[in-house]
Structure 1
């Protein structure tokens, strides 16, 4: 790997160099040498630095190479226009310190190439964000961290001892305080495509950097490689580099000026690192395929268990700028196969129209919606009528959790939604919406069935009725099931069964006689109800 001669020229602008680039095939510089009279053969990708008196014209006509001449003497015009060579002229007296400066420039760029190779090696090992951030800190000599668009910390330098409140938030809490960044959140520069240097001007700054040994010098306001911003709210200077995938913002890469001063070469390395982090983040297909909003990202973090306490949740809600109207319902929607990102981007609109002010994301191949609990009965029925039609058209199934108030428990309610679908499909094949409240007993049965025989919990007389039906070819079990599930409403049940109320009354009395039970007794009624639910769960009470 080499350095373009124009990059070296750019670093020498203060000397007002004049350049004559006549041979563009050899502009990549791989080494720098002192121009000596004794040199007989000149390498094409070497930059020879010296004074005009060392420039042996007779030796140069046939050689393709690069020269940086430091002299107050005039260069002959035919040499300037020689098509074999590239020449840079500086109108100064040649000194060894000038030569050393050019060497320093070359080595700075060479270090970037070396660091780029190291970074490429880290990426090739595919060991994730943590390895990238640890390697970045070694290369930069300062601690760093990565945050997403909600300013949740995704990764930070391990093993760093830094007694600073910001680092305590990063390393221990996993997020930054909303108040500390609030003044920046409306600043358009936070969308910048080049790094931003926030220079602390706080007089109480205990983290003062000594620039005396900084050969490149500190970053200055007129630097073209950064946006320079002085900030009296910060007690430690930092470089803030936005991470993009195309035009889509994925997060921030932030380096703190804690142990050594920043240099221009750090800026170039930070740009490389930001690109590397972008590649790593895009391996998460949600970033790759979806224009994710801050509130959707918040929901994904909750589902992944990355927000674990109330303080962190409150801070993330502030950054996401979202409000929740409690109680909430979690609605899980599944397909026979995992829902693809292309499918999701198309059908998401349908669900958002049904549940206004909801958050809708794709999580592990399922659609997850968090919506305010619909308490108005008419609106409730309208919503789920529309939802049923959409699900039927899309051949999808939906589970709805119990109402809840604590977002930190969201995984429990997500599992409720999935469990309701599983249990509901076990009992029927002609429904698309399943409410967890309707399947709580079945959930209990599924948890108990591995430990105990569920039939042991049935009222003994239920088996007596089953035997009676088998011997006398009656359907009293079915009559009992309909009676119990319709809450003993004999008028409704007589109409449903197409029999006279007197006939129904006789059948219920006969059932009580066979079973030797009183269905007006609350405890016995519940025991019979529970027994029928167990048989239904086991597939032995089909109607």
Structure 2
């Protein structure tokens, strides 16, 4: 029996069986297109095409409507200005329309979960639509929702810029596609910005993240914020980035155990991937060094990140100044803390008063220990280059541990 002669019930069963098969969104889209006797494509609210039917006779349609392989910003804006997108986003029933830039009519319908619209399913009228196609499209949309839920949580997919940022981080879209989608969505990112990664340690982490994201956006409305990799990822304009802003963020999370990482400044949204990698480096270094402060700037751990990368191929201990091993051996034999005193002195910017406070001792005691290091090991702690190399070596030893 040809598809055109099948009953509504038979066509409906084929769609539902395709969902039950769980062979992925592309397989489902191809089978749904066969049942509907027309090309189908599915895209999310960021304009990313999730699937388009790949069966005989459909490629010529995509060459006309999607010549670049993704939605064109100008065509998307034309469709939006016609009012069709507004109807698609607001109604559960399918919408019949016609592209002003194409000969084809289309039948579109939103895919919606409890959080909002996550995708749009569009059927292109290559063969004349049938009376029951609208009802079947609703079933297709519900099936697509289940397929998306099977792949991942859909709550974040209702946010237009979520998939844009996700694609940048994961490099799952070309630069030109990202640019086009940003234009179509009219996304306005700051000229200069930073990325904040907020890692929350809570037994009910997922629910807390959604709640805290809403709280954060209400308090800092000028930012973009998504949930990704079980963390809150926030983009904030450099002109809004200040100590008062950081205080607001920390106050919001005052009842949670958190770690906040702050990236270096960047000027192009495509640099989000690099900024996110800085967040990952901060979290990794934080764990290895057992840092206590909840807020860390990438600039503060840059050298540690460099060491971490180097440690994957080399033993960091081999690059440390040999004199440190002699100081450690002396401490072990004599029960002294010369290495600890030296490290505190160097990490305090060679300020004896600050270092003494850090060690909870009188500055004269620390001065005596440093003098002892100089005399016993023939070192000059006024030598800038020596002090840098000593401090760098001590940090490498921390990372090596």
TM-score over 0.5 for the alignment? yes
Larger RCO (alpha carbons 8 Å, 6+ apart) = 2
Structure 2: which 5+ residue stretches go unaligned? none
Tell me the residue number matched to 1:357: 222
Asked whether the 8 Å contact 2:213–2:225 carries over to 1, the reply is yes
Matching of residue 197 in structure 1 with residue 197 in structure 2: no
Superposed CA deviations along residues 98-140 of structure 1, whole A, max 9, x for unmatched, are: xxxxxxxxx9795211111111211111122111110022122
Q: Following the alignment from structure 2 to structure 1, what is the Cα–Cα distance between the partners of residues 117 and 345? A: 60
| TM-score, normalised via structure 1 length | 0.64
RMSD: 3.2
Q: Following the alignment from structure 1 to structure 2, what is the Cα–Cα distance between the partners of residues 389 and 247? A: 27
- Aligned pair in 2 of structure 1 residues 390, 134: CA closer, same or farther (>3 Å)? same
Secondary structure of the 1:324 match is coil
Please, which of 45, 49, 56 is the counterpart of residue 149 of structure 1?
45
| Count of aligned residue pairs for this structure pair | 394
Tell me the CA shift for residue 426 of structure 1.
2.7
- Aligned pair in 2 of structure 1 residues 165, 515: CA closer, same or farther (>3 Å)? farther
Asked whether the 8 Å contact 1:325–1:372 carries over to 2, the reply is yes
- Between 420-429 and 123-132, the greater mean CA deviation after superposition: 420-429
- Aligned pair in 2 of structure 1 residues 390, 263: CA closer, same or farther (>3 Å)? closer
Q: Following the alignment from structure 1 to structure 2, what is the Cα–Cα distance between the partners of residues 533 and 390? A: 33
Q: Following the alignment from structure 1 to structure 2, what is the Cα–Cα distance between the partners of residues 391 and 241? A: 39
1:31-70 equivalences under 5 Å are none
Tell me the residue number matched to 2:72: 177
Q: Following the alignment from structure 2 to structure 1, what is the Cα–Cα distance between the partners of residues 56 and 203? A: 41
Tell me the residue number matched to 2:294: 432
Matching of residue 529 in structure 1 with residue 391 in structure 2: yes
Q: Following the alignment from structure 1 to structure 2, what is the Cα–Cα distance between the partners of residues 136 and 264? A: 16
Q: Following the alignment from structure 1 to structure 2, what is the Cα–Cα distance between the partners of residues 149 and 389? A: 32
1:127-138 equivalences under 5 Å are 127-138=23-34
Tell me the residue number matched to 1:441: 303
Q: Following the alignment from structure 2 to structure 1, what is the Cα–Cα distance between the partners of residues 36 and 107? A: 11
Tell me the CA shift for residue 233 of structure 1.
3.0
- Aligned pair in 2 of structure 1 residues 374, 530: CA closer, same or farther (>3 Å)? farther
Q: Following the alignment from structure 2 to structure 1, what is the Cα–Cα distance between the partners of residues 204 and 320? A: 40
Asked whether the 8 Å contact 1:166–1:176 carries over to 2, the reply is no
Asked whether the 8 Å contact 1:399–1:419 carries over to 2, the reply is no
Q: Which has the larger radius of gyration?
A: 1
Structure 1: which 5+ residue stretches go unaligned? 1-106, 200-230
Asked whether the 8 Å contact 2:45–2:158 carries over to 1, the reply is no
Q: Following the alignment from structure 1 to structure 2, what is the Cα–Cα distance between the partners of residues 395 and 364? A: 17
The structure where helix makes up a greater share of residues is: 2
Asked whether the 8 Å contact 1:148–1:250 carries over to 2, the reply is yes
Please, which of 72, 83, 102 is the counterpart of residue 234 of structure 1?
102
Asked whether the 8 Å contact 2:118–2:157 carries over to 1, the reply is no
Superposed CA deviations along residues 134-169 of structure 1, whole A, max 9, x for unmatched, are: 002212222210011222111011245557585366
- Aligned pair in 2 of structure 1 residues 517, 327: CA closer, same or farther (>3 Å)? farther
Tell me the residue number matched to 2:144: 277
Q: Following the alignment from structure 1 to structure 2, what is the Cα–Cα distance between the partners of residues 500 and 282? A: 62
Matching of residue 293 in structure 1 with residue 153 in structure 2: no
Tell me the residue number matched to 1:262: 129
| TM-score, normalised via structure 2 length | 0.85
Q: Following the alignment from structure 1 to structure 2, what is the Cα–Cα distance between the partners of residues 426 and 437? A: 17
